[in-house]
Amino acid sequence: MPTLSLTSTHAVVSRGENIQFRCTTPKPRCNANAEFQLFINGSSVSSQKHVSSMTFNFVNVDVLYQCNYSCCYSYQNNIKSPLSNIVIITVVNLQQPNISHSAPDGRFDEGPQGPVITRGHSFTIICSTESQYFGGNFHLLRGSNITRSESAVNHSASFSFPEADYSHEGNYSCIYEVSVSSRSFRSSASELLLITITASMRPVIGAAVSAVLLLLSVLIIILLLKRRQKQRNKETHSKCFFTKGQTASHSSKNEDDDEADYEKVEHGENMNHNDSE
């Protein structure tokens, strides 16, 4: 029975890698070429001749190469050897993850290029992928730099930003990483998610309210001052009128007294004249 060995480094590979097998006969015949055949899941896919062994190469593999491999050999009498041992090849094909966002307090607008988050409010970026492998990690990138990493829970991870600031603006993407048979594999990056931070309207509203209150206070003070001034003018006018009334009354009284005195004098003179007659 021949021996099939994997001469490339790993039995678990990612798409685009190369794999290489070698099928070896236990008792090669001198000056006689053996025909070696490679089988994938029991079907012959390649046949080559050599004296003692043959190497089979597969370049730029994809998921179709995730199979069970074995080999056999035969000489000119067409008597085939038993099949060799089986080598299992696993091709890891991680799907492109998805990226989305949410705002727990609902303070965001959907702009033409992505979400617009109000400064000071919270938001969350969510990375997810299809259920191919258990566990793994998600890496959050801003631009080309990994900024944060989270363990995958139910094939997703959430990256929370409790208080949005201008430093959080940028293009975000996700990468999914998983370990299979002691090898680490990474997916391609997700689509870009542009986060824009806009100024909060609370300071503007607060300033406007303060200005309105200040204006109302000034108007109230002006009205109070005008009312007090009007009241003072009224009191002054009343005092002047009262003073004039007293002066006129006193003058009229003096005239009446003078007239009465005149009448008394005249009456006395008449009485004296009568007595003299």
Angle at 205 between CA 201 and CA 208, to 5 degrees: 145
Q: Mean pLDDT, to the nearest integer, of 256-271?
A: 54
Q: Could you read off the pLDDT of 206-233 as tens digits, one per residue?
A: 566 677 777 888 888 888 888 888 787 7
Task: Compute the distance between CA of residue 174 and CA of residue 87 in angstroms, rounded to an integer.
Answer: 34
98-200 CATH pick, 3.20.20.10, 2.60.40.10, 3.30.499.10, 2.60.40.1840:
2.60.40.10
What is the side-by-side strand order in the sheet with 68-74?
43-50, 34-40, 68-74, 87-88
Q: Where are the domains of the chain?
A: 3-92, 98-200, 208-271
pLDDT at 186 over 70: yes
| 250 pLDDT tier (thresholds 50, 70, 90) | low
Paired strand residues for 47:
37
pTM: predicted TM-score of the whole model, two decimal places: 0.65
pLDDT at 195 over 60: yes
pLDDT at 53 over 90: no
Q: Mean pLDDT, to the nearest integer, of 133-159?
A: 94
Average pLDDT of the chain, as a whole number: 82
pLDDT at 187: 94
Q: Where are the alpha helices (DSSP H) in the chain?
A: 202-276
Shared fold status for 3-92 and 98-200: yes
For the 3-92 domain, the top CATH level (class) is mainly beta
Which DSSP string do the residues of 93-152 spell out, in sequence order? Answer: -PPPPEEEEE-TT--EEE-SSSEEEETTS-EEEEEE--SSSSS-EEEEEETTEEEEEEE-
Joined tokens for residue 205: 């509203």
